[in-house]
A and B are shown apart, each in its own frame.
Chain A
Amino acid sequence: MHTQLRRRSAAVVTAVALLAGCSATAPGASPAATGTATVRYAAPGSPSNAVTDPHGLLPGESDVVRMALTYDVLTVPGADGTTKPRLATGWRPDATLTRWRITIRGDATFSDGRPVKAADALFSLRRMGKKAAENFGRMAMFDLDASATIDDTTFELVTRKPYAEVGKALEGATFVVPEGSDDFGKPVPGSGPFRPTDKGGAQAVVFERNDDWWGPEPPARTIEVRAVPDPQARAQALLSGQVDLAGGVPATLAKQQEGNSAVRLLRRPGATLYPLVMRMDTKPFDDLRVRRAVRLALDRQQLLDTVFLGYGEVGNDLITPKDPTSPATLQQRTRDLAQARKLMSEAGLADGVDLTLHTTTAYPGMDSAATLIAQQLAGIGMRVKVAVEPADTYFSAVYARKPFYISYLGGIPFLDVVRVALTPGSPTNETAWKDRTWSAELDKALAEPDDTERHALLGDLQARLRDQGGYAIWALSDRLDLARAGLSGVPEGIGFASAFIDQVSLDG
C-alpha cells in the first residue's frame, strides 16, 4: 500500500513539476523580500523519523544537520575531503600506530553548564561502539574497552590494528554527549554552536545560537530546520519564499531556475553514486571477463545525461572518486562494444545471457538508470530484465543479497566503504570481494605513517578494485541545493561536510 502510494505521489510530483514549469513564477516568488535573522532550512528527511539519539541511525539528512548544530564532533571533513580539527585539537599516535592520544579543547561547555571533558568524548565513542548495528560499525577499528581517559582534555584511543587514519575515523558522526547520558527520548545537553528548543512542534526544530560556543560566532541568531520528505516540496518552499535554503532539489527544477536571479543553485560535485553491483561469486559475474565487458558496454555520458540530466560527471569505475586518496590520473574508461563483445565470447557467452537487474524508486532516477543500463547491455548480448523492487524493503531484501542490482553511495569516504562493503567474510560484502592479498595490502597501507606514501598505497588499492572488482561506477551526480540569493556560509563538500551549517547568514 505504501509503495503504491509513494509511486503515485512520485508520478504526481512530476506532473506538478511539469505544470508548474509551464507557467510563470509561483506566488511570493521574491525570496529577498523578508530579511530576518532567522535562517530557514528545508532539508531532506522525514519529520516522523526525527531521531534524538545522535549515535544510532541518522535516517535523514535533516537528522545529521540537527545533530551537527546541537553537539560538537571530534573532527570534521573539510570541503576538499581532508580532516579538520573541531572539538579535538590533536590526534597523535605512538610508534606502533595503535595507541592514539586525542586532545580536546578545554573551553567547551554543555548547555547545562558542565565543561566538556575527555571522559565525555570517550563515553560517546563507546556508546557508538555499542550501537554498531545502527551506525554501520563506525567504531569497528577501535578497541574501546582498552581505551582510557588520561586527564580532563586527553584520552587514549586504542586501535585493533595499526591504523594511521584515526583523524578520519573520528570525522562527522562523533557527537559528544555528557558522560552517563542514557535517556535519548529527547535531546541531551550538547556543546554545539546552537541549542534546540521545543518551539517548533512537529513542523520544524528551532535552534537558538549558543552564545557560549567556543568557535566562530554564528551570524544567524536562529536556525529553523525542517524535514521535508518530498524534493519538489523543498524546492517550491524556497521558490515561494517560505525557506532560505532547500537541500537536495530535483535536477528538472534546478534547470528551470538557471536564469532566476532571486535564487542561487549550489552544486556539490560527486555527492551521489548509483553503483552497478555484480556479485563476484555468482555466474556469470564470477568471470572477470564478464565484469570487464559490462564496464566497457556502458555508455556513461548517455547515463549521466538521462539519469542526472547532465548534473554531474561520468564515472571511471572508482568507488570513491572524491576521496582525497582516489587516484586522479587514470585514463577515463569509455564504451568499447567490440572489445566488450570479444570478452563475452572469450567467457563462452557469445550467445548472450539472461539476467535480472534489481532496482527501486527510493532515490530519483534509480529506476531509469536500470532501464537504460539494460538497453545498453543488450549491445553485448545480455538480455536484462529490470525488476523494480519496493523502496521500503530494498535495503533488507536486495542489498548484499541479489547478484545484480543498482546500489547507492552518498559522499562516503573510501575507508568507510571498505569497512562495510569490501571486507572479506563480512555479510554486507555486496560484490563478494574476497581478494585476501588486497586486504593484506590495505592493512599494510594503514600501518604506513607517512601521509604521501599511504595515500599512494590507498590509491593503488582503489585502482585495482576498479579493474578487478564487482562495481561499475558509471556516473557521479551533483547534489543540488537552492538558496535564496543573499544566503552565504553554506558549507561546501559532500557527506558530513555538508551538515555543518552553523555559519549560514542572510546578510550576504
Chain B
Amino acid sequence: MPWPARALARTVLLMAAASVVIFLCTAALPGDAADVLGGGRAAPGELARLRAEQGLDRPLHARYLDWVTGVLTGDPGVSLITGRPIGELVAQRAGVTITLAVAALAVSVPVTAALAWAAARGPRWLRHPANAAVVAGAALPQAVVAAALVAWLSAAWGLFPPVSMLPAGEPAWSRPDLLVLPVLTLALPIAAYGAALLRGAIADVVARPYVRDAELRGLPPATIALRYVLPMIAAPATRLFAVTLGGLVAGTAVAETLFGLAGLGELLVTAISTRDVPVVQSVALLAAAVVVAGLAAADAPRRRRETARP
C-alpha cells in the first residue's frame, strides 16, 4: 500500500478506536442525564419514561451505531439536558477555545524551546534553575498557576483583570487584555511539560560527535541550535505539538471556569458532570480528531522522504 493510503487507513482506524473508547468511557459513568433532569426528586416511573424518551434504555451497541451514524452524516444530535443542537453549542464556543489554544501555543513554543535549551545546554549557572523551573512548572496544576498569576499580575500589579467577561457577541480576540491571564495559565505548564520531554532529546543530540565537532570549530551557538540540533528534534517536537494542540481543545476547562469564559473545555466538563453523553462524545471526538490529524501531519515529511527513496 502506498504511503498516503496507509496514512489514511491508519487515521481512520485511530479515529474508530478513539470513538469506541470515548463511547465506552461515557457509558461507564455512574448515573445518567435522566437522574440529573429529575434533580434527585423524581419517581422511578417518571425517570424510566424520561430514559425511554432519550433513548437511554436502548442497548449499548444500538446507541453507539446511532451516534456514529449521526457524526458521519454531520448531525451529532442534541444535548440531553438543554435540547439544543450540539453543532450549535460547539460552534458558539469554538472561537474562544481556538483563540486560547492558538495563543497558548504561540506563547508556549518559544518558552518551551528556551527552557529546554537552558536546561540541557544553557550556561552552567542557568542549568539548575532552568531544570527546577521545568520540574516545578510541569508538576503545578493549572489552577495553582492561575491563582498565582491573578495574585501577582492582577491583584498586586494591577496589569490585567482577574476574570475575563468577554464582551457579548464580539470575537474573543477583540479584548486581548482579557486573554492574557487565561493564556498564560494554559501556556506556562504546557511549556514546562514540553521542555521536560524535549530536554532529554536535546541532551542526546548535543552529545553527538558532529555537534561537538561544530562546537570545536567555533560555530556560534545559535547556528548549532538551528542547523544541527533542531532538525534532529523536529519529529518529537512536532508530535508533542500535535498532542498538545489536541489536549488544548478539550483541556481548557480549568482556565475557562476560573476566568469565566464559555468555551469547549467548560462545555466538556459540565457535560460530563450532567451526564450529557452526546455532548461529551462530540467534544471528546473533536479533540481526538485534532490529535490524530496532528500526528498524521507530523509524520508526513518523514514518510515522504522514506517513500522517495529508491
Contacts and interface: CB of A to CB of B under 8 A. Distances in A.
B178 to A, nearest CB: 8
B166 A49 contact: no
Identify which of B38, B163, B169 gathers the most chain A CB atoms within 10 Å of its CB. Answer: B163
B288 to A, nearest CB: 16
Interface stretch (A20-28, A308-316, A496-504): A20-28
A239 B165 CA distance: 12
B168 A206 contact: yes
A49 B270 contact: yes
Interface string A40-57: 101000111111110011
Interface string B133-158: 00000000101101110110011101
B83 A52 contact: yes
A226 interface: yes
A56 B79 CA distance: 14
Contacts of B151: 16, 19-20, 22-23
Given A133-B37, A397-B31, A16 B150 contact: yes
A1 interface: yes
B155 A19 contact: yes
A236 B262 contact: no
A366 B49 CA distance: 32
A9 B253 CA distance: 10
B272 interface: yes
B187 interface: no
Given A12-B147, A395-B40, A428-B42, A203 B168 contact: yes
Given A16-B146, A48-B270, A199-B169, A242 B163 contact: yes
A237 interface: yes
Interface string B23-34: 000000011001
A203 B262 contact: yes
B292 interface: no
A233 interface: yes
Identify which of A11, A12, A132, A184 gathers the most chain B CB atoms within 10 Å of its CB. Answer: A12
B143 A230 contact: no
Nearest to A3: B273
Nearest to A197: B169
B201 interface: no
Interface stretch (B5-13, B84-92, B231-239, B302-310): B84-92
B189 interface: no
A102 to B, nearest CB: 26
Nearest to B81: A49
Contacts of B42: 132-134, 136-137, 428
What's the interface size class on B, roughly? 35 or more
A399 interface: yes
A47 B42 CA distance: 24
Nearest to A12: B143
What's the interface size class on A, roughly? 35 or more
Contacts of B96: 202-203
Given A12-B144, A204-B168, A240 B163 contact: yes
Interface in A59-91: 59
Contact of A27 (B40, B46, B154, B169): B154
Contacts of B168: 199-201, 203-206, 224, 226
A59 B81 contact: yes
Contacts of A28: 161
Contacts of A230: 257-258, 260
Contact of A393 (B31, B146, B154): B31
A16 to B, nearest CB: 5
A26 B39 contact: no
Interface string A409-427: 0000000000011000011
B47 interface: yes
Identify which of A49, A202, A395 gathers the most chain B CB atoms within 10 Å of its CB. Answer: A202
A46 B220 CA distance: 54
Given A49-B274, A226-B165, A233-B259, A185 B78 contact: yes
Interface string B49-76: 1100000000000000000000000000
A19 B165 contact: no
Given A9-B143, A420-B41, A2 B272 contact: yes
Given A11-B143, A52-B84, A206-B169, A133 B38 contact: yes
A186 interface: yes
Contacts of A392: 31, 272-275
12 contacts: A2-B269, A16-B162, A24-B155, A27-B161, A42-B260, A46-B270, A57-B39, A134-B37, A230-B258, A233-B260, A395-B41, A427-B43
Interface of B: 30-31, 34-44, 46-47, 49-50, 78, 81-85, 89, 92-93, 95-96, 141, 143-144, 146-148, 150-151, 154-156, 158-163, 165-169, 253-254, 257-263, 266-267, 269-275, 279
Interface of A: 1-2, 5-6, 8-9, 11-13, 15-16, 19-20, 22-24, 26-28, 40, 42, 46-53, 56-57, 59, 132-134, 136-137, 184-186, 199-206, 224, 226-230, 232-234, 236-237, 239-240, 242-243, 391-400, 420-421, 426-428
Given A51-B81, A134-B50, A199-B169, 12 more contacts: A5-B269, A20-B151, A48-B270, A132-B46, A133-B42, A185-B83, A205-B168, A229-B270, A237-B165, A242-B163, A421-B41, A427-B44
